[in-house]
Every structure is written in C-alpha cells, then in structure tokens.
Amino acid sequence: MKRLRKYLILTHRYFGIALSLLVVVWFASGIVMMYAGGMPRLTPQLRLERLPALDLERVRLTPADAAERAATADTAPRSAGRAGGPARTTLLTVMERPAYRIGGTTVFADTGEVLRGVDVDQSRTIAARFMSLPAEQIHFDRTLTRIDQWTIGQSRALPLHRFRVDDGNGTELYVQPRSGEVTTLTTRRSRTLAWIGTIPHWLYFAALREHQVVWYRIVVWTSAAACLLAVMGLVLAAILIKRPVPFRLAKAIPYSGWLRWHYVTGAVFGIFTVTWAFSGLLSMEPFAWTNATGLQVPRDTFTGGPADLSRFGPMEPASWDKVLGGRAIKEVEFARIQDEHYYVVRLAADAHTAQRRERLHQPYYVTGRAESDRVLVSAGTLAVRSGPFNTTSLIDRLHAALPSAPIVESSVLTDYDSYYYSRGRQTPLPVLRVKFGDPAETWVYVDPEMSQVLAAIHRLNRVERWLYNGLHSLDFSFWYDKRPLWDIGMLTLLLGGLTTSVLGLLMGIRRLSRRAARGLATDPAESVPTSKWAVTE
C-alpha cells in the first residue's frame, strides 16, 4: 500500500509539472471567455448595419434576368447552393450599386454586368465605405493565400485582401476579391481578448489549426491527461488525509506551506477540475456515438421546392415605399415558403444592438436568429405578412415529409427549454417543438415566423448537451439566467481551480530549479518521504 501510494504521489507530481502550465492557462482563459465570447468575427447584425440602403431607382433587372446572366457567366460553377442545392438569391448594394448575389456570382442590377472580381484599389474603396472613412485611412497590408489567425475556417474564401484602418481602434478588415464582400472585421480589443481567451483555451493557433488532425489529437490527449491528473489528485486527497482522535481538520492535513494549500484547494475544487477537463474532452467529440444521426428533415419540407425567380416582378420604388412606409431597404432575399413566394426584406434598423457569440461549441446545429427588422412580403400581392404560419400546416408538412416517424408530442414554446435556448435571446421565439417517436427520439424545432427548421436534436445530442454544455458552462436553468448569481458561482469555482493549478505550477518550478541546481543528483525526497512536501508517516 505504501509503495502504491508513493508511486501515485510521484506520478501526480511529475504529471502535474508537465501539465500545470496548460491547466493554469485553461482556467485563466476560461474566466476571460465568460465575458469576451469567441473569436473576432463580422456579426450578421453589423454586416447588415454597414450595408448601404438599396437604391431601387437603379434596379433594371428582375431576379430572373439576373439568374440568366449568372448562369452564362464564367463564375457559374460557384453559383450553386450548398450540397448542390438551389442558390440563395439576394439583392443588396455592392460597390455603391444594386446587385443580385446568386450563390457565388454577383450580377449588377443596373446594367446586368457580372462582377469578375475586385482589385486592391477597389477593395480599399469597399473597406473605406464599410468603415465610413476616407480611403486615405485604409492601408493595404497584404493578400492572404493561406489562413491567418483571424480567418481560421475561411480557407474556401481565399484569397483575401487585408487592410489596416486608422480609426484609433486598430481595426483590420478582410475583403474577398471574388465577391467584393467584407468577410471579417477585428479590432485591437477583440484580438487582445482572443489572445488571452479563446486562442490559448482551445489552442486556436493558426499554425496548429492548419493541421486539423494534429490539433485535434493534441486537444484530445491533453484534455484526457488533465482528467487523469485531477482524478489522481482527488484520490490522493482521500487516502492521505489523517484521522486524528479527536478529529481536528488542522491536524488532518498532512502538509505544510504551499503544498498544504494545494491539497486543500484541490480537495475542494478538484471535482470541478475533473468535470471541466472531461467536458472539454467531449467538445472534441472523440467517441463515435456522438456522431449518430436522427431524423433528417428534407430540405423542401417547408418550402415546396426551390424558388421560381420568374415569380418576382420588377422592383418598383413607389410601390415599395408604400408597402414599407418609406423605410430604407438593406437587403432583399427571394424565397419560397409553403409553396408561396415571398420577398424577405431586411430593413435599416432603428438602433444597433451589439450581440456577441454565445456558444463556442454545441453538439447540434441551431440556425436562425431573431430579426426585428425583417418583413415578409408576398411576391404576388406585395402584401405584408403580419403573423406566423399556421401551426397545423407546419405539423402536417413534417408528417408528410417523415411518414414513417410518428409524432408523439407537439407544442409552441414561448420561452426556451433546456436544449433550444439563448442567454441573449438571439434565437427566434416563439418556436414549435415537435417530438418524434423514431429510434433516435428526435426533437425538431421550427420557426413559425419563417416556416423553417431551426434545429433537429436526437437523444444522444441531448445527452451530450448535458455532458458538455452542462458540465463546462454550468448552464443549468436554476441559475444560468439569473445573473450575477451564475457569474459569482463560476468565478468562485474557476478562481479556486486556478489557485490549485498555480500552486502546482509554482511548486513544480521550485522543484525543477532545485534539481537543476544539484545537477542530476537524486532527490532524497523521492526515495524517503521525510521533507515537508511529503506525507508524514
């Protein structure tokens, strides 16, 4: 037993020396991420806010005309939608001109000219207009042909022109030359927060993320090692405690100095260190069962098929002024919803509300966002749709699309449940939740306003939600939405774990320094546990 205890102590000690710096970084960066969110990005809200208002007087082409031009253009292969589906078609302002964007092809709505790409000077002008600054304050940095730290995940958008902005905020912009679109925006503050938050926490270093397999393995194995280290610490806390008679806590702890406080904080906060390391491991989905699939709702369930662009007539400015009460249009999407055709009109917001990304990982995909300045207008009558789609029609369409899966329950939620939720209330409400009796027990969430699927969550997704989000963010309903209660609890636990790991790091540095000072001489404390850092027999 003594030999086993000795080897367990030594394993925990040197395992801790190897991992303690990384664990310290995880705890410290986790505190930053509570408030800083994820990597810098251009949010949909900011993109829409910076879009110039559409000048309908200059629109000469109909959507069908633009589609014909796009189909015959050299860029036609990029016009297809995802997975070979129909291309998304929108009307917006590009380079101060109205333009249709059909998949990856841009067709100017005033002349029918197809955008063949933009050069550096044109990209600088686009960036200047986006920032509402003179072009003299926009400085070309370089053209990226490989991802950098802020374009991780945008390899398909390459090349990108990067510009630095003289605005006092250290802003950097990335413009895609194929589309003339601003794809990424960062500031000095957002980059700094990322460097002390998300990047060290998830090891999101560009040089490492370029090698996906290597990055994945490093995160998985270091998370697993941290789990093992924390478990060993808890085991040692249990077996090394003394039991004096009468029992006194001060005499029960067998250490002094830093090691005493490392023992105490580890015994108190160690279980949370285990759960955080374990849930961080699960975020990488290392187990095959997390990749299981539930019901797949067909793409055209709520549309009835791809949009027929010939159903959309010319954009008459006078008619649209009457329909929208003179409000400026930022973007128009041409959509088919429940076999009817609609203009999805996004208007100029009365005031911009900053919203940060809430989740850095989730075991299932949730799409859609609440948009207060979005209007559905019938393509046939130009009548504004004032209410949600009928719940019965949504359920009937789901039943017709998935006839082999019985519906066991359906309800309209006016507030979030445990699997579809948003602290910032960024995802749409109300939402229709339909539970199916398929083998995977899939729950489908549908937005009645837009008649579209927001999420399809099967049983194993729900299990992983608790194992990851529940354990990692402690987002349990009894306190998650009750700030500052959640903040106080999380900060207490994170600071406790940080204290434990910092003490371990300092003791490790001290021990290595002593070893270095003595050269390769054997540390007698390792063979005979008689020092103040060892167990008192």
* pLDDT, tens digit (0-9, with 9 covering 90-100), for 361-413: 566 888 888 888 999 999 999 999 999 999 999 999 999 999 999 999 999 99
* pLDDT, tens digit (0-9, with 9 covering 90-100), for 132-148: 999 999 999 999 999 99
Nearest to 315 by CA among 98, 107, 97: 98
Pairing of strands 181-186, 407-413: unpaired
pLDDT above 90 for 347: yes
Longest CA span, the chain? 93
Give CA angle at 278 (277, 281), nearest 5°.
Answer: 90
Single-letter code of the amino acid located at 393:
S
Identify the three-state secondary structure at position 503: helix
CB of 354 closer than 8 Å to CB of 371: no
Give CA angle at 33 (502, 228), nearest 5°.
Answer: 45
Cα separation, 263 vs 300, in Å, equals: 59
The token pair that represents 35 in the structure block? 């408030």
* pLDDT, tens digit (0-9, with 9 covering 90-100), for 64-92: 999 999 988 755 444 444 444 457 999 99
pLDDT for 256: 85
* pLDDT, tens digit (0-9, with 9 covering 90-100), for 293-344: 789 999 999 999 999 999 999 999 999 999 999 999 999 999 999 999 999 9
Cα separation, 142 vs 185, in Å, equals: 15
The token pair that represents 38 in the structure block? 């994820």
Angle of helix 2-36 relative to helix 212-240, nearest 10 degrees, comes to: 130
* pLDDT, tens digit (0-9, with 9 covering 90-100), for 220-279: 999 999 999 999 999 998 888 877 667 666 778 888 889 999 999 999 999 999 999 999
Q: Average model confidence (pLDDT) for the chain? A: 88
Cα separation, 126 vs 136, in Å, equals: 13
Element (H, E) at 528: none
Mean pLDDT of 423-438: 92
